[in-house]
Amino acid sequence: MKVTENKSNGLTKEFKAVISAADFEKEVNAKIERIAKNTKIAGFRAGKAPVAMLKQKYRASVLGEVLDQMLKNAAEEIIKENNLRPAVMPDIKLTAFADGKDIEFDVVVETLPEIKVGDFSKITLDKLTSEVPAEEVEKAIKYVAQTRKETVEISENRPTKKGDVVVIDFVGSVDGVEFNGGKGSDYPLELGSNSFIPGFEDQLIGKNKGDKVDVNVTFPENYHAKDLAGKAAVFAVEIKQIKEPVEVEINDEFAKSLGEESLDSLRAKVVERIKGDYENASKMKLKRALLDVLDKEYSFEVPAKLVEAEYDGIVKQYEQAKKYNQLDEYEKAKDENDLLAEYKEIAARRVKLGLLLSEVGLNAKLNITPEDINNAIVNEAKKYPGQEKAVFDYYLKNKEAVEALKAPVFEEKIVDYVLGQVKLNEKVVSVEELYSFDEDKKQEKKPAKKTSKK
Q: What is the pLDDT along the chain (454 residues), one digit of tens a residue?
A: 999 989 999 999 999 999 999 999 999 988 888 877 766 665 565 555 566 666 777 788 889 999 999 999 999 999 999 999 999 999 999 999 998 999 999 999 999 999 999 999 999 999 999 999 999 999 999 999 988 888 899 988 899 999 999 999 999 999 999 998 899 999 999 999 999 999 999 999 999 999 999 999 999 988 888 889 999 999 999 999 999 988 889 999 999 999 999 999 999 999 999 999 999 999 999 999 999 999 999 999 999 999 999 999 999 999 999 988 888 889 989 999 999 999 999 999 999 999 999 999 999 999 999 999 999 999 899 888 788 999 999 999 999 999 999 999 999 999 999 999 999 999 999 999 999 876 444 444 444 444 443 3
User: How many Cα atoms sit within 13 Å of 31 on the Cβ side?
Assistant: 20
Taking the C-alpha atoms of residue 386 and residue 258, their distance in angstroms, rounded to an integer, is 13
Cα Rg, the chain, nearest whole Å: 33
Query: Could you tell me how far CA 150 lies from the centroid of its own chain?
Result: 38
253-259 contacts, C-beta under 8 A, 24 or more apart? 254/145, 257/148, 258/144
Which of 147, 241, 248 has the alpha carbon at shortest distance from 189? 241
Taking the C-alpha atoms of residue 28 and residue 54, their distance in angstroms, rounded to an integer, is 11
By DSSP bridging, strand 150-153 and strand 165-174 are unpaired
Q: How far is CA 369 from CA 333, 362, 397, 415, in A?
A: 45, 15, 19, 16
Instruction: Tell me if 444 sits within 8 A of 291, measured CB to CB.
Output: no
Q: pTM to 2 decimals?
A: 0.74
